[in-house]
Chain A
Amino acid sequence: MGPWPWRAAIELGETMSVSERVMAAAVPVAEGTRSSLFGTLVRVNLLQTWRRLQALRHQSKLLTLLVGAFLAGYALLAFWLFSLGLRFVGSFPGLGALLVERLMYLLFAVLFVLLLFSNLVIGYTNLFRNRETTYLLAMPVSRRTIIQWKFIESMVLASWAFLFLIAPLVLAYGLHRHASWHFFAATPFLVLLFIVLPAAGGAWVSMVIARYLDRRIFQVLLLGGVLLVVGGVAFWLKAEPVVEELTETRVLEVLDRLLAKTAFTEFALLPSYWLSSGILQWSEGALSTALFYGLVLLSYTLFFGYLAMSQTGEFFHEAASRVNSRSTAFWRWSWFRAWQARRQEAHYGPGGLERVARWLGWWLGTDTRALIVKDVRLFWRDTAQWGQTLVLFALLGVYILNLRHFAHQLTNPFWIHLVSHLNLGACALNLATLTTRFIYPQFSLEGKRIWIVGMAPVGLVRVVRTKFWLATLGSLVVTLGLILLSCWMLRLPWLRVVYFAAAITIMTFTLNGLAVGLGAMYPNFKEEHPGKIVSGFGGTFCLVLSFVYIVASVVLLALGSPWPWMPTGRSPEAATELAWALFLLLSLGLGWMPLHLGLRRVMKFEL
């Protein structure tokens, strides 16, 4: 082979500008070791992240301000609420400390499960649906290096919100316990050790899923699994009726029964137990015990972290090959092949969903129905995305179902008010995660398909309107269902049921209008991943406005409730009217207005 032309020191002149040289220096040279290749990958991705942050700053100062204010506001609010809650629970004579301790165990156990799930979803997407992974697989980078980088990237992506969520709690707990300074220094290390374990578990499960399951089987198993877990949790946490006499005379017995349901959180092999115990012991000054739990965490983290980072390369490659081959290990069974073959057979008629759409939406035009069917199909086929929402709503459903056990004890109107309004808020917040995560990026996701949708005689305005109605009616089924269930469980009179049903209906319209409107106002046709679209200006703006709207609405409705908060109290009618007027005004401003502006923007949209 002849010498390469550029080796002959071709004098091309100084084509690089100073800025190019500065940027070039940001990507230093690898020195020829495996770790340096890993380092190069980390550096390049950090550089990308930094550029992304810079771009956000250049895009809008308002966004930086908004995100900063939101983060600071959340941290302060969470810290205040946690402090208040810890003080309240801790004030129970003789039992406070025990209850606080159990709550900490419970919280970290639940967060462990959520982290595991989050790592599973993000790990799967990052390992098998990521173009960088495919690119790296074709490069002379060892599978081990690829999995090392992807493992750490997935862990950071899946866990940063967890760290942000618990920071105010741990701070509040430390202050509540009057812990010494080293508690605040040691806790972050314990937490960092902890997050490696669900990350390793999530990565491993995601590889097993990729290796053995195709999308359809995964969907079925996910749905079945969620139903099983929800059913199991509902059964396990089924509250036991306690007569009032017993609560007065046999408090400890009642408490024992109550705590028995959460005793699993103190199972000694749960990683959340090691973390909770470490934190609790450290806060009490029992340093040697705390250190012991810290070392337990460290040993497991090192062991599983080492396994994940060094021993999964081949299995990952096998799984990646399977995913690329669109085949599953089930092909070895003839029944599976026969079933797949039946599914592959050409059916020239309309699909089942189309027939349902035709039956339900007979008055709609064929084009509108086609848009609806397309959106529903794309949503259903994106398992990784809707799986998280399903879990959130299922958990809310379990909680609401369990309310029936408390209903007969909720005789005080204050608690009925509080619980019913909190349910309204929780339901709306769940919906907001759905609208921001899925509905907001819908218009942007049309980017690659705009050549067909935009050029069709449907018109983009109708496309956006259809998305709004589909999202609103679809989510209304869930939110209205949950609120009606909540009212039923709380045994509220029908007038109050109508009241809350009206409130959640308006909130559902508003949150969807906000998401669809902002999605059309700030489209991002470059990104293919909905998560990345949401992290832009419009998505962040949508999230913040949704949160502000929900908090403001629930506070307004609670303050202006036509039913008295106290048995002897009475709300003035004027307050109710004013509260509803403000609520409606807010809903119009944050729901109808963005939708209207979004549609106007779409009308002027140039393909």
Chain B
Amino acid sequence: MIELEGLTKRFGDLIAVNDVSLQIRRGEFFAVLGPNAAGKTTTIRILAGLMKPTAGRARVAGFDVQHQAIEARRRMAYVPDFPFLYERLTPWEFLRFTGQLFRMSEEEIEGSARHWATRFNLGASLSTAIESLSHGTRQRVALASALMHEPEVIVLDEPMVGLDPHHARVLKDILKEQSNRGVTIFVSTHQLSVAEEMADRIGIMHHGRMIAVGTREELRRQSGNAGALEQTFLALTAEEANLAAAGKRLGSMEREADRDGSMAVEGRH
């Protein structure tokens, strides 16, 4: 349902996403973890069509997000970490507006908006201007609007930020339901508990590369650490960091050797 093929994004010399290839099946709940600046948000922004990849391609429901953008977006829901909302509209009006952007019929809009407003407990705020809502309520409005059009793929960047424990639970339940219904879910998060509790597979990104992908058990085996996901994550990212540092040291030794012309370095890789 989501296919990434050699996805690469460079910002000048910096490689934010480095040759990431990934296939996420229909109905799969995929969580991507990674330290800050690992390339998670950039990957998601490419997936959402907000920026072009330098190389590679991304497909959602079989549609290329660059060349068949409208078709891909029609099947996808994307909620960024700080979603944009029209401040002077009420949540009800915003839900309707979103439904119209997705060309839903009046009946569908009415039914879907009511349903998601109820699920996200927005009843009391439906006729209040969005500008006067709390951060958590705004987040719930954004999530409700994203689910309006029956997406086949849901892409969420840090969806739990700002939600209280009750509504975080509600969101987890909704996402699990959607996943069970066959909706593919791609979540970027720093909350390891979310990945641990809900994800079918977990991807770990570091320095723009997808350094590990698998179920919890597979990741444990890969890291050689039998502890909680936190330990697995730390072990994998530390290992990657050590490798990168070693590579850097080796590179500088080689450069020095080249300059001196007197030293040969063997076993480069």
Contact = CB atoms under 8 A, between A and B. Distances in A.
A137 B93 contact: no
B49 A526 contact: no
B106 interface: yes
Given A6-B115, A47-B89, 17 more contacts: A6-B112, A6-B114, A12-B115, A20-B90, A20-B127, A23-B93, A23-B127, A37-B101, A40-B97, A40-B101, A44-B93, A48-B87, A137-B50, A139-B101, A140-B74, A324-B45, A326-B11
Contacts of A23: 90, 92-93, 127
Contacts of A55: 88
A30 B105 CA distance: 8
B101 A141 contact: yes
Contact of B181 (A2, A20, A138): A2
Contacts of A341: 13
B11 A325 contact: yes
A290 B50 CA distance: 47
A32 interface: yes
Interface string A296-319: 000000000000000000000110
Nearest to A340: B12
Interface in A228-286: none
Interface in B137-162: 150, 152
A44 B182 contact: no
17 contacts: A1-B26, A1-B152, A4-B115, A19-B127, A37-B103, A40-B97, A44-B86, A44-B93, A52-B88, A134-B50, A138-B49, A139-B102, A140-B74, A143-B69, A317-B52, A337-B12, A340-B12
Contacts of A47: 88-89, 93
Interface in A1-37: 1-2, 4-7, 9-10, 12, 15-17, 19-20, 23-24, 26-27, 29-30, 32, 37
B40 interface: no
Interface of B: 9-13, 26, 45, 48-52, 69-71, 73-74, 78, 80, 83-84, 86-90, 92-93, 96-97, 100-103, 105-106, 109, 111-112, 114-118, 123, 126-127, 129, 131, 150, 152, 181-183
A6 B26 CA distance: 21
B115 A138 contact: no
Contacts of A26: 93
A191 B69 CA distance: 38
A494 interface: no
A29 B127 contact: no
A362 interface: no
- Bin chain A's interface residue count: 35 or more
| 7 closest residue pairs by CB, A with B | A6-B115, A1-B182, A135-B84, A51-B88, A140-B73, A131-B84, A48-B88
A140 B92 contact: no
A366 interface: no
B12 A321 contact: no
A12 B12 contact: no
A88 interface: no
A29 to B, nearest CB: 5
Given A10-B115, A32-B103, A321-B52, A48 B89 contact: yes
A24 B93 contact: yes
A327 interface: yes
A16 B48 CA distance: 33
Given A1-B182, A20-B126, A138-B50, A132 B84 contact: yes
A142 interface: yes
A327 B12 contact: yes
Nearest to B71: A140
Contacts of B115: 4-6, 10, 12
Given A1-B183, A321-B51, A16 B92 contact: yes
B126 A16 contact: yes
Given A10-B115, A15-B118, A327-B10, A44 B89 contact: yes
A415 interface: no
Nearest to B180: A2
B131 A526 contact: yes
Nearest to B90: A23
A167 to B, nearest CB: 28
B123 A15 contact: yes
Nearest to A526: B131
A136 to B, nearest CB: 8
B134 to A, nearest CB: 13
Contacts of A32: 103
A386 interface: no
A323 to B, nearest CB: 9
Interface in A125-177: 131-132, 134-135, 137-143
Contacts of B70: 140-142
B78 to A, nearest CB: 5
A17 B49 contact: no
Interface in A504-547: 526
B84 A139 contact: no
Contacts of B80: 138
A51 B126 contact: no
A37 B93 CA distance: 15
Contacts of B117: 15
